[in-house]
Chains A and B, each alone.
Chain A
Amino acid sequence: MKAAIRIHQPKHQRTLLAAAMLLAMGMAGCSTQTVKSTTVTSIVTETVSLAEEELLDISIGIFEPGLDDIPNKREELTFADVRMAETQFVSYQLAQTLQGSGAWGVVRVNPNELSSADIAVTGTILQSDGETMVVKVNVKDATGKVWIDKEYKEVVSKYSYDPRQRSQDDPFQGLFNRIANDMLAFRQQNMDSQEVATIRSISRIQFAKSFAPQAFDEYLTTDRNGMLALSRLPAANDPMLSRIDDIRERDYLYIDALQDYYGNYVRQMQGPYTNFRRESYEEVMKYDKLRAQATRNMVLGVAAIVGGLAATQSNNAAVQYSAYGGLLGGGFLIKDAFNKRDEAQMQVEALAELGNSLESEIAPQTIELDERVVTLTGSVQEQYAQWREILSDIYANEVGSTAPAGQ
C-alpha cells in the first residue's frame, strides 16, 4: 500500500489554479438577466387651465444622431441612415408628447438656431436599437437657465411590439413621457408668473435683436455666466417692436409649415420604422445572448485550460488525469465561443439587411424632407435678409442718420 503522497505544487501553479477558479466562479455569477417591465410611464398633463400669458413655447431642435458616441459593441448594430431618420422622428415625437400634455404654448420642431425660443430643447440619440433607446436631453429657457441636462434610457420588452398587448403609442413612448414630465415638474416647482413673463420677454427681445440689433441691443444684459437678463423693456407701443412682432408671427407660420413636413415624413416612415424596430429587437436579443455566451465560454474555456495546465504539472496521476479533462473541456468551450461569435455575426448581418431595407424604403421621403426644408428655409432666409435691411433703414431713418446702414 502506497503511502499517501503529499502533493506539492510550485507556488506559481497554485496561483494559476486559484486564478482560474476565481475566473470561473466569477463568470458563473456574471450571467445576469435584465428584468424588463412592461409598464410605460404615463404622461402627466397640466390640470390647471393656464392663461395665454402663462404659456411658454417650446422649440425642439433636431436631435443629433450621436454617431460619434455609439457605445462599445453597439457599432455593428447602428446604421447611419436609419439614425439620421430617427433624429427627425425622435424630435417630432417629443414635440407631439409635450403638446399633448397641455402644459405649454406652442411646441414646434425647429431645425434652426433656437436662441429666441422661450424653451429650447436639444438632444442627442446615444443608442437606439429595437430594445434600448438612450437619449441625452438638454432643456434651457431664454435666460440661459438649464432645466434638464441628463440621459434618459428606456428598455422595452417584446410585448411593446405585440399589437395585441400594446397601445397605439410608440414602443418608447415612456421615454418621451418621462422627459415631458420632468419638464413640467421643473416648471411647476421653479417658475412663477414673474419668471414666465421674464422668459417670454427675453425671447421676444432676442428675436427682435436678430432682426434689428441696433434697436434692441440695449434691452438685454449678459452676466459672466452667460445668463441673460432684461435691463429694461421697450415701450408697449414701440413701432419697431410692432414690426418685429409682425415678422415673428410669420416666423411662427414658417415653422408651422415645417411641422407639416415633419408630420408627413414621420407618418410615412413610422410604419416601416416600427417594423424595423420590432424585427431588429429579436435580432438584437439574439445577438446579445450569443455574445454573452461567447464571452462566458471563452473565459471559462481559458480558465479551464489555465487550470488544466497548472494541474498537468502535478505529480499526482489523478490530478494529471483530470487536468487533461480540463484541457479538453476548456478547448471545447473556446471552440464553442468562436462558434457563438460567428452566429452573433450572422445576427449582425441579418440586422444589416433589415437596416438596409428600411433605409431604401424611407430614403425617398428622407431626401424629399431634406430638400423641402432646405428650399423653404432658403427662401425664408432670403426674405429675412431683406426685412433686416428694411428694418435697418427704418432704424437709421428714425435716429436721424441720412445714410442707410452698411453704406
Chain B
Amino acid sequence: MTATERRAVLDGQLEKSYGTFDGMIIAERQKAESQANEAGSQVMGNGGGGEGADGDGTEGAEGTFGQGSISVAAANTGGAAGNGTMPAGGATREGEYSNTAPPTFAAPADIPSGDDDDVVARQLREAAMHEPDPVLREKLWDEYRKYTGLSQ
C-alpha cells in the first residue's frame, strides 16, 4: 500500500467515525430537548438567545462541520448551537417532541426499511425524517448512507 493509499484509508476511518460521533451527539441532544420539552421549558437559556433566537447564523461557523458531514448546528436550525442556545429554528421543531404527532418526511427511494438499523442509524433516520429543512434533511440522509454503507 502506498503512503497515499494508506492516508486515504486512515482518512476514511476518520470520516466514518465522524458519522458515529455525530449520531451520538444528535441522540444526546434530542434526549435533552425531549426532557426540556417535557419539563415545559425551552432547551437552552435565553442569555444568548439574542443571537440564537434570530438564527442569524453569525455563530454558524462554530457549529457546522467540514464538507461532507452533518451540520448539527444546522440540524438544530440556525447557527447558534455553538453558543449553547437553541436557535429560532428550534421553534419549527417544537411540535416534534410534544404529544401531537410530529411531521415526518418520507425517506428517499434508496433508503431501505431500516429494520436492521442499529441505535446510531436509527437516530440518524429519525432526525432526517423529522427535519423540515430539505437541504439539511438530505445531509442527514447522506450521513445515514455513509454510516450504513449505502454510499459505497
State which of A250, A256, A398, A400 has its C-beta within 8 Å of the C-beta of B84.
Answer: A256
Contact present for A249 and B36 (CB under 8 Å): no
State which of A102, A260, A387 has its C-beta within 8 Å of the C-beta of B28.
Answer: A260
| Shortest distance between the CB of A55 and any CB in chain B (Å) | 8
How distant is the Cα of A249 from the Cα of B71 in the complex, in angstroms? 10
Which of B25, B47, B62, B63: most chain A Cβ within 10 A? B47
In the complex, which residues of chain A have a beta carbon less than 8 angstroms from the beta carbon of B22?
A: 250, 253
The contact string, 1 if C-beta is below 8 Å from chain A, for chain B 61-80, is 11111100100110000000
A249 and B66 contact, Cβ closer than 8 Å, known pairs A260-B28, A398-B7, A400-B3: yes
Contact present for B50 and A100 (CB under 8 Å): yes
Contact present for A267 and B81 (CB under 8 Å): no
Which among A104-112, A151-159, A286-294 touches the partner chain?
A: A104-112
A107 and B83 contact, Cβ closer than 8 Å, known pairs A250-B21, A264-B32: yes
Contact present for A397 and B35 (CB under 8 Å): no
Q: Does B133 contact A (CB under 8 A)?
A: no
How distant is the Cα of A270 from the Cα of B85 in the complex, in angstroms? 18
Q: Which of B39-53 contact A (CB under 8 A)?
A: 39, 41, 43-48, 50-51
The contact string, 1 if C-beta is below 8 Å from chain B, for chain A 86-109, is 000000100111111010011111
Which among A133-141, A229-237, A239-247 touches the partner chain?
A: A239-247
Q: Does A257 contact B (CB under 8 A)?
A: yes
State which of A52, A246, A266, A376 has its C-beta within 8 Å of the C-beta of B18.
Answer: A246
Q: Which of B1-55 contact A (CB under 8 A)?
A: 3, 6-7, 10-11, 13-14, 17-18, 20-22, 24-25, 28-29, 32-33, 35-36, 39, 41, 43-48, 50-51
Q: Does A261 contact B (CB under 8 A)?
A: yes
Which of B25, B41, B50: most chain A Cβ within 10 A? B25
In the complex, which residues of chain B have a beta carbon less than 8 angstroms from the beta carbon of A98?
A: 47
Q: Which of A377-407 contact B (CB under 8 A)?
A: 379-380, 383, 386-387, 390, 393-394, 397-398, 400
In the complex, which residues of chain B have a beta carbon less than 8 angstroms from the beta carbon of A144?
A: none
Which of B11, B17, B58, B83: most chain A Cβ within 10 A? B83
Count, chain B residues at interface, CB 8 A: 46
Contact present for A246 and B47 (CB under 8 Å): no
| Shortest distance between the CB of A397 and any CB in chain B (Å) | 5
Contact present for A257 and B83 (CB under 8 Å): no
Contact present for A253 and B48 (CB under 8 Å): no
Contact present for B13 and A99 (CB under 8 Å): no
Tell me whether chain B's interface is mostly helix, strand or loop, or mixed: helix
In the complex, which residues of chain A have a beta carbon less than 8 angstroms from the beta carbon of B33?
A: 260
Q: Does B59 contact A (CB under 8 A)?
A: yes
Contact present for A96 and B63 (CB under 8 Å): no
Q: Does B82 contact A (CB under 8 A)?
A: yes
How distant is the Cα of A253 from the Cα of B25 in the complex, in angstroms? 7
State which of A105, A250, A386, A398 has its C-beta within 8 Å of the C-beta of B25.
Answer: A250
Residue of A with least CB distance to B36: A264
In the complex, which residues of chain B have a beta carbon less than 8 angstroms from the beta carbon of A387?
A: 14, 17
Contact present for B10 and A397 (CB under 8 Å): yes
Q: Does A272 contact B (CB under 8 A)?
A: no
How distant is the Cα of A250 from the Cα of B21 in the complex, in angstroms? 8
Residue of B with least CB distance to A245: B66
A257 and B25 contact, Cβ closer than 8 Å, known pairs A106-B84, A250-B18, A397-B7: yes
How distant is the Cα of A376 from the Cα of B6 in the complex, in angstroms? 31
Q: Does A252 contact B (CB under 8 A)?
A: yes
Contact sample, A vs B, 21 pairs, CB 8 Å cutoff: A100-B47, A106-B62, A107-B48, A107-B84, A246-B66, A249-B62, A252-B82, A253-B81, A256-B29, A256-B63, A256-B73, A257-B25, A257-B28, A259-B44, A259-B84, A263-B44, A372-B28, A383-B17, A390-B10, A390-B17, A398-B3
CB-CB nearest 6 A-B residue pairs:
A96-B47, A99-B48, A259-B84, A260-B32, A100-B47, A106-B82
